[in-house]
């Protein structure tokens, strides 16, 4: 018997942008909850449970590893069972994670919560990305995919500030309450959205579709540069006696958001390959400037240029992946591309740290070299893509 759609089609007359707005709200609130616990978990591990800084690092790393492994499965599940259902499952898991934080289970309980969180994060984000692709008009797909990524970024940026405020004015319990309530709001929002009509489609069993490999490698190179600025930007400036190193991340983030909002349609209008070439060149130049800057203002300019360059890589590479992947592999392909980013950030912490032991400028030079070195694979990855001129 042929498969039939498990979900009813969207309600007649429902504009795609209304559904997309609800999708963004669900993503933003859940990732705000994920971000809210970031500033308090290290205190909890060290002060309350007697853990070490290594335990703190492992707590965050285990989430990233689980998310990396689950993302392709999340993409497949979204195509098989429906994006809304899988997003709701991710949000429901996030509620459960918030509840786990409240239980007196010690360090093992915290690790269990973070492992489960990796599953929820992967399901929510990947299913939402597949839904975004289905919703967006083709001539605006790059811009809409870019806005989708900003919702996650904004949640992870707002969450730590909220978590710190709740901790200082309340307690750990106030933070855990937010960690439960925010994804519960996401569940409510998702329940009000019309069901997507693409569930039940034939889905490939490939977890790493060929269409995702070259775009994933290119995104990994760009993400390596991002991770180097996050992990070593302030240290590099302090090593040269320059002040305000932590502000570099704020400058980078401002450029990331600003360029994504103002220039988000460029991948659709001029084609992803041209955008990737310019964006990668800007990111590499910015990384070199941060690594060699003789003053804080020069380093800030480098962070500005690098952030503006990095931000359009994901939507551009996602467009290439979408256009190259067969319909049955699109969900897994989008999940796999995101997994390359996760993997690169983790590798950058280890490799960048080892190189930084010798020289901070060398760390930034390595990052710039990787970004530029990825450029030859872009035309190959985009071969046959019909975008831009």
Task: Assign 10 a pLDDT band (cuts: 50, 70, 90).
Answer: very low
Q: Is this prediction's pTM over 0.85?
A: no
Closest among 302, 310, 97 to 186, alpha carbons compared = 97
Residue 298 to residue 275: CA distance in whole angstroms = 25
Sequence-distant (≥ 6) Cβ neighbours of residue 134 within 8 angstroms = 83, 196, 198
Q: Which phi and psi angles does 51 have, rounded to 5°? A: -80, 175
Q: Once rounded to an integer, what is the mean pLDDT over residues 282-291?
A: 96
Residue 5, phi-psi category: left (phi > 0), alpha (psi -120 to 50), beta (remainder): beta
Task: Assign 75 a pLDDT band (cuts: 50, 70, 90).
Answer: confident
Q: Once rounded to an integer, what is the mean pLDDT over residues 131-148?
A: 88
For 219-248, the pLDDT digits (tens) are: 999 999 988 888 788 888 888 898 888 788
Percent of the chain with pLDDT over 90: 47
Contact 176, 102 (CB under 8 A): yes
pLDDT at 244: 82
Task: Assign 13 a pLDDT band (cuts: 50, 70, 90).
Answer: very low
pLDDT of 1 strictly over 60: no
pLDDT of 178 strictly over 80: yes
CATH of 16-191, one of 3.40.50.300, 3.30.750.24, 1.20.1250.20, 3.40.190.10: 1.20.1250.20
pLDDT at 6: 38
Residue 20 to residue 144: CA distance in whole angstroms = 9
Q: Once rounded to an integer, what is the mean pLDDT over residues 300-320?
A: 94
Q: Once rounded to an integer, what is the mean pLDDT over residues 241-266?
A: 88
Q: Once rounded to an integer, what is the mean pLDDT over residues 354-364?
A: 89
Sequence-distant (≥ 6) Cβ neighbours of residue 286 within 8 angstroms = 301, 302, 303, 304, 305, 306, 307, 308, 309
Q: Supply the angle between the helices 330-356 and 106-135 in degrees, to the nearest 10.
A: 130
Residue 256 to residue 63: CA distance in whole angstroms = 24
Residue 342 to residue 340: CA distance in whole angstroms = 5
For the ranges 201-215, 229-243, 283-297, which has the lowest average pLDDT?
Answer: 201-215
* Token couple for 253: 């983030």
pLDDT of 366 strictly over 50: yes
More confident residue, 362 or 3: 362
How many residues are present in the chain? 389
Q: Once rounded to an integer, what is the mean pLDDT over residues 138-147?
A: 88
Residue 36 to residue 383: CA distance in whole angstroms = 42
Residue 293 to residue 18: CA distance in whole angstroms = 45
For the ranges 1-10, 239-248, 276-285, 378-387, which has the lowest average pLDDT?
Answer: 1-10
In 170-246, alpha helices (H): 172-191, 210-239
Helix, strand and coil in the chain, % to nearest 5: 80, 0, 20
pLDDT at 312: 94
Q: Strands, E, within the chain: which ranges?
A: none
Residue 371 to residue 284: CA distance in whole angstroms = 6
pLDDT at 384: 59
Task: Assign 197 a pLDDT band (cuts: 50, 70, 90).
Answer: low
CATH of domain 210-381: 1.20.1250.20
Contact 203, 127 (CB under 8 A): no
Closest among 155, 213, 206 to 185, alpha carbons compared = 155
CATH 1.20.1250.20 range(s) for the chain read 16-191, 210-381
For the ranges 36-40, 53-57, 228-232, 245-249, which has the lowest average pLDDT?
Answer: 53-57
């Amino acid at each position: 018997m042929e498969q039939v759609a498990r979900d009813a089609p969207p309600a007649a007359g429902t504009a795609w942008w209304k559904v997309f707005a609800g999708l963004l709200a669900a993503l933003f609130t859940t990732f705000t909850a994920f971000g809210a616990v970031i500033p308090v978990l290290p205190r909890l591990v060290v002060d309350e449970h007697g853990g070490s800084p290594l335990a703190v690092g492992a707590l965050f790393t285990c989430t990233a590893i689980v998310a990396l492994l689950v993302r392709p499965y999340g993409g497949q599940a979204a195509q098989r069972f429906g994006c809304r259902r899988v997003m709701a499952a991710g949000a429901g898991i996030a509620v459960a994670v918030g509840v786990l934080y409240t239980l007196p289970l010690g360090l093992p309980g915290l690790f269990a919560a973070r492992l489960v969180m990796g599953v929820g994060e992967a399901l929510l984000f990947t299913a939402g990305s597949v839904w975004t692709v289905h919703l967006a008009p083709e001539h605006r797909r790059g811009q809409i995919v870019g806005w989708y990524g900003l919702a996650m970024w904004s949640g992870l940026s707002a969450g730590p500030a909220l978590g710190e405020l709740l901790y200082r004015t309340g307690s750990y319990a106030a933070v855990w309450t937010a960690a439960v309530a925010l994804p519960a709001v996401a569940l409510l929002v998702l329940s009000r959205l019309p069901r997507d009509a693409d569930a039940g489609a034939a889905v490939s069993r490939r977890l790493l579709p060929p269409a995702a490999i070259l775009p994933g490698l290119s995104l990994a190179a760009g993400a390596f540069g991002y991770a180097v600025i996050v992990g070593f930007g302030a240290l590099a400036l302090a090593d040269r006696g320059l002040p305000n190193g932590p502000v570099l991340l704020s400058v980078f983030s401002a450029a990331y958001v600003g360029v994504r909002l103002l220039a988000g349609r460029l991948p659709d209008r001029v084609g992803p390959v041209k955008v990737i070439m310019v964006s990668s060149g800007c990111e590499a130049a910015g990384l070199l400037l941060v690594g060699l800057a003789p003053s804080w203002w020069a380093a800030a300019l480098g962070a500005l240029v690098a952030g503006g360059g990095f931000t359009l890589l994901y939507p551009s590479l996602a467009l290439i992946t979408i256009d190259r992947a067969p319909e049955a592999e699109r969900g897994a392909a989008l999940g796999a591309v995101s997994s390359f980013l996760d993997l690169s950030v983790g590798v950058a912490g280890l490799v960048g740290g080892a190189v930084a032991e010798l020289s901070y400028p060398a760390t930034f030079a390595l990052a710039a070299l990787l970004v530029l070195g990825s450029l030859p694979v872009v035309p190959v990855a985009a071969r046959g893509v019909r975008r831009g001129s």
